[in-house]
Amino acid sequence: MTSPPTVPPTMKAWTFSRPGAHRQVLRLNDIPSPKNPIEAQVLIKVAYASLDGGAMKLMAMVPSLLRPKDSIPGSDFSGTIVSLGPSAPSHLHVGMAVFGLLGISATLKGSGTLREYVCVSAAETLIVPVPEGFSLEEAGSLGTATEMAYLICKHGQIQQDCGYRILVNGSSGGCGSMFVQTAVAMGAKEVVGTCSAPNSDFVKQLGATRTIDYRSNAPLHAYLAKEYSDQKFDFILDTVGSQELYNNSPGYLKEGGTFLNIGDFTSGTLLTLIHWILNTYWPKWLGGTPRKYIMFSGKAEPTSSDWIFKLLQEGNAKATVEKAFNFDQALEALDMIATKRVRGRVVIKVAE
């Protein structure tokens, strides 16, 4: 039996002390390692870490006053459990390979995963045993994408064997590519994905029945109305945040159908928040779009661990890692994420 690694007094971590763009504020530092876990905490030796554009925005926006001096970005992780607090869940054990997603308070407080050891609260963190057949590199890309797939099904009330016709706008990114696979696993009758032409084969391999190149078929809403007015979708997931797509959705989304948006690429954070309120509450008799609109703030739900493990273990979803960066190349990894052109996810190798 291999003994668990001993935690050194200090560790390497990417830290920042003021809000800003990653190239301006992020530095590789030596900082104290986490203390032994108490209560329901779990201490993990990080193998791979990842984050998405949302986490980068938090790094740029949250004022220094609300965070410790050495704040650490990163929300997703894979790694090995080093030690557990006395009331940690009994199915977790020392030496177990796990992956997951930090709780929102850890992310907001700058207690992220771009470091060698992380101590997390099992009550607030998604912690999933790495299923057979997945490497730690692949597992490091799965936290946000699988949690979002779970939450989209939950908020969108997508049940097993739904038989839905589903459109995924932005189907080649981290959340889109995982949801295409999830929709197929949930028994969707048809899954149509929008993506750029070079990603078409990739999205089809994930199980999409058809892909639409949103560039050569612009404006997308007019193309969809032409193609799908007599066979409308039951559910639309928008990972891009296109208000135009929602405004025009009666042309291609069934009357009782749902439009669920998670993205803010098109409108930016502030305008997306305004759209969220207006799309949800503006009455139809005052000109509101007559289709159900859902948006939610995704946060780790530890109880989704079983659902996610089953999805992966049964072979219903794979990980897509476009590139794995070394730990000292974290800034290059963040440059790539900021392009909003990543196929699947990128991960940062911390150790193995």
Ligand X SMILES: NC(=O)c1ccc[n+]([C@@H]2O[C@H](COP(=O)([O-])OP(=O)(O)OC[C@H]3O[C@@H](n4cnc5c(N)ncnc54)[C@H](OP(=O)(O)O)[C@@H]3O)[C@@H](O)[C@H]2O)c1
Residues that bind ligand X (CB under 6 A): 52-54, 144, 148, 169-170, 172-176, 194-196, 199, 214, 239-241, 262-265, 297-298, 340-343
Least distance from C-beta 90 to ligand X, angstroms?
A: 30
> What is the rounded CA–CA span in Å between residue 182 and residue 177?
9
Closer to ligand X at the Cβ: 223 or 265?
265
CB of 197 vs ligand X, minimal distance in Å:
8
Which C-beta is closer to ligand X: that of 22 or that of 45? 22
- Longest pairwise C-alpha distance within the chain: 68
CB of 82 to ligand X, least distance (A): 28
Sheet holding 292-294, edge to edge: 210-213, 190-195, 165-169, 233-238, 253-261, 292-294
Give the separation between CA 139 and CA 133, rounded to whole angstroms: 10
**Least Cβ distance, residue 39 to ligand X (angstroms):** 27
Q: List beta partners, residue 48.
A: 78, 349
Which is nearest to 191 in space by CA: 235, 156, 153?
235
CB 190 within 8 A of CB 167: no
| 190/322 with CB nearer ligand X | 322
Report residue 98 as tokens. Answer: 């796990």
Of 80 and 146, CB closest to ligand X: 146
Which residues of 239-335 form beta strands (DSSP E)?
253-261, 292-294, 321-326
- Please, are residues 204 and 181 in contact by the beta-carbon 8 Å criterion? no
Residues 6 or more apart in contact with residue 332 via CB below 8 angstroms: 325
> Which has the closest alpha carbon to 79: 41, 102, 48?
48
C-beta separation of 44 from 140 below 8 A: no
Nearest CA-CA partner of 251 in 226, 219, 234: 226
Q: Which is nearer to ligand X, 42 or 148 (CB)?
A: 148
Of the two residues 28 and 218, which places its CB atom closer to ligand X in the complex?
A: 218
Q: How many other β-carbons are positioned within 10 Å of the β-carbon of residue 104?
A: 15
As measured in angstroms, the least distance from the Cβ of 249 to ligand X is: 15
Query: Closest residue to ligand X, Cβ-based?
Result: 173
Shortest gap between Cβ of 38 and ligand X (angstroms)?
A: 29
Q: Which is nearer to ligand X, 54 or 207 (CB)?
A: 54
User: In the complex with ligand X, which residue's Cβ is closer, 145 or 253?
Assistant: 145
Residue 209 C-beta: closest distance to ligand X, Å: 17
Nearest-approach distance from CB 272 to ligand X, in angstroms: 8
